[in-house]
Amino acid sequence: MNASMDSMYTTQTDTVLLLNNGYMHASHHHHMHAAYPGHSQSHHHHTPPPSSPSREKAQHSQPMHIQTVRCLQEEHQLRPASLPAIPNPFPELCSPAGSPVLSPIQTSDNHIVKVWSEDGAGKVVEIPADMTARDVCQLLVYKSHCVDDNAWTLVEHHPILGLERCLEDHELVVQVQASMSSDSKFLFRKNYAKYEFFRNPPNFFPEQMVAWCQESDGSNAVVCFLQNFLNASSCPEIQGYLYMKEPGRKSWKKLYMFLRRSGLYYSTKGTSKPRPLQLLSDLEDSNIFTIITGRKLHNAPTDYPFCIKPSKVRSDCKELKMLCAEDEQSRTCWMTAFRLLKYGIILYQSYSVPQQRKASVLPFSAPVRSVSENSLVAMDFSGRTGRIIDNPVEAQSAALEEGQTWRKRSQRMNALGSPSPLHPSSLSTVIHRTQVWFHGRIMREDAHKMIIQQGQVDGLFLLRDSQSNPKAFVLTLCHHQKIKHFQILPCEEDGQVFFSLDDSATKFTDLIHLVEFYQLNRGVLPCKLKHPCTAVAL
């Protein structure tokens, strides 16, 4: 007991030595002993000097304030150098600077990136500095259990400026994020038109806009076209009229412009020759964006605005080169040519690598179909061997007969007490809601917006509830960069409900059958259904 008391007294004595700005006195030890009963009171009394007011306020029966920081400093100075320091098992609790929550991890080169989906939900991923946009998309596809069809992309979205663009597959996401402002964000979205110009270049580049197309014989126009744009030594040129917003004003001026590898130029004398050209923007340190709020925010003269944004500019509208095209085809031509002239062969490599991987998996040369298309090959088993039905009319009649047989069989099973949760008639009205192409009760304007965002390629489609008829549906389809709507009406026959979009000439038991039929047959539509407009929740 006496030994423990002595150790406590010694600790108290060391503490007092550190108080009052380092003021020490030889009799502090006697004062600390006098504060406890049971010890000798025979020590002579010592009065502290009047120059230290803190010593006068201190009483033996009162607790004394300990300056923790100074104690730690003195303890560090008094620690013997020969003894090793005991490592702290919880360094993150010492200070906010060492906390992984309040500061980035210093021992790793990974970076935190947040990506948003169409429904407004976000997902945080940790990626290395050398991870490309294509790799991030594959990671999100894996985490979200989506089908990787090489159409997914990251979108750089600037809500205040009203701009967005799809990142190229080879771009480093961390570098792009470093150049974005605090209000900007990444979106995870499909873009079927990302490499569509490699498959069908005439739809993207009208001959009157490409200078060297007028001089070609037309036989090898497609091959010559791709070679000229991908070859760094050739000099293709896109030309045409564009509206340009005047700096510092709300007005727009119509100018004749030329897009080359060296940059975007405009002529002060129209199309006359010789034409003095002035450089508007280069391609190397700039990116091309779609303006999503053109008329409202920038008073654009048409519905087809776009802009060239320098990479160093974050949120300054004055540095943006606002442009506006006459129609969607010319805007697509300008923006696609900008990408091709800037990146060249890199774009073709990004396009060809997934195609080569797909070809190595599938050893045959037949066109690759979706799972639903491969499962809908019409067969005739009436003979000894099965026969593929090539005639669309015969295939449709076989499909209707099979559907009616399935429906009668289901009715008979329900009558015998089958545990089927839904009656076939009720099942046909709800089964489509599980499909990625069905978007429920969305507005016509929202359907337009989704089609535009995902590329406006031929065959891009979605289904939605009709706003005018609660029992009907609407097929929204893109063809030649124009969006069309087809109403799907229910019809009743023999007490059963069918769906048709050609006035009951072709009837289907549910919307899934309807979509799968028009994926194989054009029918009354301008083109087949090829690409479902998909919105995935992260």
Beta strands in 10-75 (DSSP E): none
What's the token pair of residue 230? 């991908």
Looking at residue 398, its pLDDT comes to: 67
Q: Which CATH architecture has domain 196-353?
A: Roll (2.30)
Domain boundaries, the chain: 110-190, 196-353, 435-532
Task: State the sign of the Cα–Cα–Cα–Cα dihedral 136, 141, 142, 147.
Answer: negative
**C-alpha–C-alpha distance, residues 64 and 32, integer Å:** 12
pLDDT of residue 7: 47
Q: Are 117 and 187 in contact (CB under 8 A)?
A: yes
Using H for helix, E for strand and C for coil, what is the string for 74-132?
Answer: HHHHHCCCCCCCCCCCCHHHCCHHHCCCCCCCCCCCCEEEEEECCCCCEEEEEECCCCE
The CATH class for the domain spanning 110-190 reads alpha beta
The 10s digit of each residue's pLDDT in 370-396 is 334 344 555 565 665 666 666 666 766
pLDDT of residue 248: 76
pLDDT at res. 184: 92
Q: In what order do the strands lie in the sheet with 473-479?
A: 496-500, 482-493, 473-479, 460-465, 531-532
Q: Angle at Cα 339 formed by Cα 238 and Cα 324, nearest 5°? A: 60
Q: Same topology for domains 110-190 and 435-532, yes or no?
A: no
**pLDDT tens per residue, range 317-355:** 778 899 999 998 899 999 999 999 999 889 989 998 876
Instruction: Classify residue 36 by its DSSP letter.
Output: S
Cα–Cα distance, 143 to 123 (Å, whole number): 10
Report in angstroms the alpha-carbon separations of 521 from 314, 383, 534.
48, 25, 21
Six-digit token string for 454: 């995902």
DSSP 160: T
Reduced to 3 DSSP states, what percent helix, strand and coil does the chain have, rounded to the nearest 5? 35, 20, 45
| Residue (of 144, 190, 186, 195) closest to 535 by Cα position | 190
CATH architecture of 435-532: 2-Layer Sandwich (3.30)
φ/ψ bin of 339: left (φ > 0), alpha (ψ from -120 to 50), beta (otherwise): alpha
Name the strand (E) or helix (H) holding 219. Answer: none
Q: Which residues of the chain are modeled with pLDDT < 70? A: 1-108, 212-223, 225-226, 270-275, 294, 315, 355-393, 395-396, 398-430, 537-538
- Tell me, what's the pLDDT at 372? 40
User: pTM to 2 decimals?
Assistant: 0.64
How far lies 100's CA from each of 123, 126, 140, in Å? Answer: 19, 14, 24
Q: What one-character-per-residue DSSP string does 417-465 give?
A: T---SS-HHHHTTTGGGGSTTB--S--HHHHHHHHHHTT--TTEEEEEE
d(CA 383, CA 381): 6
Residue type, 344: G
Residue 524, sorted as left (phi over 0), alpha (psi -120 to 50) or beta, turns out to be alpha
Q: Which of 180, 81, 181, 170 lies closest to 133 in space, CA to CA?
A: 170
- Distance between CA 215 and CA 232 in Å, rounded? 20
Contact 252, 262 (CB under 8 A): no
Structure-block tokens of residue 258: 């030329």
